[in-house]
Structure 1
Amino acid sequence: MEDNQSTLIRGVCQFVFPISLIGFNHEELSFNLEKEGFKFFSLKNSDHESEFYGTRTNVPHSDNEHYFLPYIENILFQDSFHAFSLNRFSKMISNQCTLITPVHTIPFSILSIDLIICPFNIGLITVRTELPANIPYLVALDFMNHFRVLAPKITDQKGTILTYNEKTFSEMKKFILDELCPGIIPYLNDDERNTTNGSLPYFVDERMFVSGYLLQPNSTTIDEYQLFKVSHLNSYDDSGNEYISASNPDYISEHIKNHSYDRWAPNTYYVTSDHTFTCVSKDEKNSKQLLNNMYGPHYYNLLLHLFYKIVLLKLSYDYSKLDIDRKEQKIEDLIRSITNFSAKFIFFEISSRTEGQEISNCLKQTFKIEPLFDEVKNTLNRLYQNQERLIDKRKNQLLLILTIYTVISGIYGMNLVVEDWKGNIDWSKLLQYSVFEYISLFIAISGITVGFLLGLIALYKMAKEYYFKEKKNN
């Protein structure tokens, strides 16, 4: 097993916090973010190559160019805010902090923060951190495991405290929202069931996703136990003893086989799981490029697949809340959302490079993108069936109403009072009508009104369809 005294040459962690945004004013949000010091991230701005990654790191934008296929570049890299793209806003922080876990006091630096405004009212907040040199490997995992907890719910998550600018925080969610990006709070969606502060009810259990880069000395041996600990962020138990959440060597080997990318073994491994996407390396010679990749192409690769997973879960969740028999408009909206997502956003080939394709496949497998997408496609088929059923039901009801009006007003009603409507109408005759004549008058007038309203509804739907078509084309 891995020696718990091994140390890191460099440890970098990016924590991704998914949030739910209200369904409007995204451009207003982007304007307010820029007033608070956030900058729209653009590959054309060379200053952004070094501004958000600390003083020792420069991430060339050329690493991102031509890494993704053109239709993916349109989603990830726009030069200004675009409603159908992942719009990244970044802000440099460069502050020292301390995280106090039940067994360690860990100093670290917050380098910067990203806020990515995505389509479908999704947001992604990334907190970019760096650990001090020569920190023990397991202490780094302890930091990753505890910092990612947004709101402690269970016993082994409680007791963690963060100090920042002489302030103390017991919840990472409050620290991120209240301290690092308070301007986002008015735009968070708190209307979802069982949610607070913009959380997503269908995604993760109040913990952030971790993207890490852990560089060790060349003399280190990277074994399966070490990689398994990274995959599950295992470090120490409450008593301060080294901890691993499995003891069966065969199980550990099988897990690592399914959750690691070992193209550059034994010097470098990429570990993917529901908790983390981390590069574990002892390749000091190529360490600069490895870190650049984690800040650049691999970071965007991860964001894209997190976005895929969140939207697919959101669409399934929205379907579960539908009242199929009553919410026809919501059915149409959900059909439109699924169709839009399938046509414009989700692609299973995203990179032109072999490395990008293989890491993308690892993320797809870990996040279960294809099964989720198949489920959403089945949902779309069910929605179409339900919509057809509702349309048929509505047509039958409309036909019944029109038949009744036609029979009664044509055969019965019009024959009674139609003579009184010719020429100049003598309204005084209304006072002399019998009960049956009043009934026929009501039926005739209500029939005209119903026809007029049906015409207005048809015109409204035509105008609405035209509006969405024009908006889509723009």
Structure 2
Amino acid sequence: MMEPLVEEDSDIQIGIKNQSYKMIKDFIFESLCPFMKDFLDEKNANSSYFGSLPFYIDERLYVVGYIALQEDSMLDVEEIYRLGSISGLDNKGHPFTGAKNSAYMKRFYDNHVYDRWADETYYVVTDYTFSCMTKSQGELTYMLANQMFGQYYYSFLLFYYYRIALMKLTYDQRKLHKGIKGIDVDNFIMQITEFSAKIYNTEINSRLAGKEISNYVRKVLDIDKLFTQVNKTLNDLYKNEERMTSKKHNYLLQILTVYTVISGIYGMNLVIHNWEGKIAWDKFSHYTIFEYIALFVALSGIIISTGMAIQAVRSYIRAKKRSGKNYL
């Protein structure tokens, strides 16, 4: 947590060397990465988070870690659970577990732990951490570290980006259903289409172990569930757009039919001779009811046709701009 928000978390501290911190942001910006202060917006220095993601859990950080242990270390389900829940020590300095039910911890192990190389190396993926814990020695230790902060790290970052992008689309979808201004249906459809066609890729690691670990990441981050929901939204939007377009075409056809029928009946020639050359304005006051109808049909037809032409040009220009725009 960037900072404790409830009373039960107020005693949590993180220690490094001779320093201890109650707020993770102080630990990061004062001890771990003090150089990052030069790149932060000082106007928001007192804020609990940096940036604005209203659809995301902004008070927590995700931990990517690698722990190398002694060769004779004992690794059991409880210790692996402690790693997955990022549990440290209690006030008396004893290991804190956060659970007592061994069956519960075993279910956690089955859903979140990749143990292909047990009991030497374990990979743990949860909502809070993606970590590797190993008892391997020598060159293998460095190779695993390079993998963890190399291909596995960047694969995880890509999946985490997928999660943020999909949650943003889900958040925009809710705003769209609520009728909040500023959400354009066409732009929203383009965002989903661009993400699905250009960005989203299920196979981001070609190695067997990398694929299997990636499956754990996708499962824990709910990537497939979010993607399915967004795709369903896209299908619903297409159906709704087709329905709305069909209604517009029906209304337009009705209007054009009315104008065609009236124009066919009157021939638009009852008053057209008065428009030749110099317009005879004085004759307008002597028109019959049918001549007024013909005049109204003629003038309104010209105005409506001009408006439709302008709207068509504007729609074409907007479509060209959207085709060259990156949405994500």
TM-score range, shorter-chain basis? 0.7 to 0.9
1:66-465 aligned at under 5 Å gives the runs 149-158=1-10, 170=23, 172=25, 180=36, 197-204=50-57, 206-237=59-90, 242-285=95-138, 286-323=140-177, 330-408=184-262, 411=265, 414-430=268-284, 432=285, 436=289, 440-465=294-319
What letter matches 1:447 in structure 2? G
Distance 1:303 1:419 in 2: 74
What letter matches 2:201 in structure 1? F
Report which of the two structures shows the higher radius of gyration computed on alpha carbons.
Answer: 2
- CA-CA distance at 1:407 after TM superposition: 3.8
Larger helix fraction of residues:
2
Which of the pair has the greater relative contact order for Cα pairs under 8 Å at 6+ separation?
Answer: 1
Q: Quote the sequence identity (%).
A: 37
Distance 1:252 1:378 in 2: 35
Q: Give the aligned length.
A: 312
What is residue 132 of structure 1 aligned with on the other side? none
Deviations 1:49-86 (A, max 9, x none): xxxxxxxxxxxxxxxxxxxxxxxxxxxxxxxxxxxxxx
What letter matches 1:226 in structure 2? E
Distance 2:129 2:300 in 1: 64
User: Cα–Cα, structure 1 residues 254 and 174, in superposed 2: closer, same or farther, change >3 Å?
Assistant: closer
- CA-CA distance at 1:463 after TM superposition: 3.4
User: Cα–Cα, structure 1 residues 358 and 372, in superposed 2: closer, same or farther, change >3 Å?
Assistant: same
> SS at the partner of 2:133?
strand
Kept after mapping to 1: 8 A contact 2:2/2:59: yes
- CA-CA distance at 1:397 after TM superposition: 1.9
User: Cα–Cα, structure 1 residues 445 and 209, in superposed 2: closer, same or farther, change >3 Å?
Assistant: same
Kept after mapping to 2: 8 A contact 1:309/1:369: yes
> SS at the partner of 2:107?
helix
Kept after mapping to 1: 8 A contact 2:49/2:59: no
Larger strand fraction of residues:
1
Kept after mapping to 2: 8 A contact 1:313/1:372: yes
Kept after mapping to 1: 8 A contact 2:3/2:22: no
What letter matches 2:219 in structure 1? Q
> SS at the partner of 1:290?
helix
1:7-46 aligned at under 5 Å gives the runs none
- CA-CA distance at 1:419 after TM superposition: 2.4
Kept after mapping to 2: 8 A contact 1:217/1:282: yes
- CA-CA distance at 1:274 after TM superposition: 0.8
Kept after mapping to 1: 8 A contact 2:268/2:298: yes
Kept after mapping to 2: 8 A contact 1:211/1:276: yes
> SS at the partner of 1:263?
strand
Deviations 1:340-368 (A, max 9, x none): 11111222222221121111111112112
Kept after mapping to 2: 8 A contact 1:324/1:331: no
User: Cα–Cα, structure 1 residues 326 and 359, in superposed 2: closer, same or farther, change >3 Å?
Assistant: closer
Distance 1:320 1:391 in 2: 22
What letter matches 1:387 in structure 2? E
Distance 2:324 2:161 in 1: 26
Kept after mapping to 1: 8 A contact 2:14/2:27: no
Kept after mapping to 1: 8 A contact 2:175/2:183: no
User: Cα–Cα, structure 1 residues 328 and 409, in superposed 2: closer, same or farther, change >3 Å?
Assistant: farther
- CA-CA distance at 1:210 after TM superposition: 0.8
What letter matches 1:459 in structure 2? V
Distance 1:230 1:155 in 2: 23
Kept after mapping to 2: 8 A contact 1:209/1:275: yes
Kept after mapping to 2: 8 A contact 1:325/1:390: no
Distance 1:314 1:343 in 2: 17
Distance 2:102 2:51 in 1: 40
User: Cα–Cα, structure 1 residues 463 and 244, in superposed 2: closer, same or farther, change >3 Å?
Assistant: same
- Give structure 2 stretches of 5+ with no counterpart: 16-20
Distance 1:382 1:400 in 2: 27
What TM-score do the two structures reach when normalised by structure 1? 0.57
- Give structure 1 stretches of 5+ with no counterpart: 1-148, 189-194
Distance 1:315 1:170 in 2: 31
> SS at the partner of 1:414?
coil
What TM-score do the two structures reach when normalised by structure 2? 0.80
- CA-CA distance at 1:259 after TM superposition: 0.6
What is residue 84 of structure 1 aligned with on the other side? none
Distance 1:426 1:171 in 2: 84
Give the superposed CA RMSD.
3.7
Kept after mapping to 2: 8 A contact 1:156/1:238: no
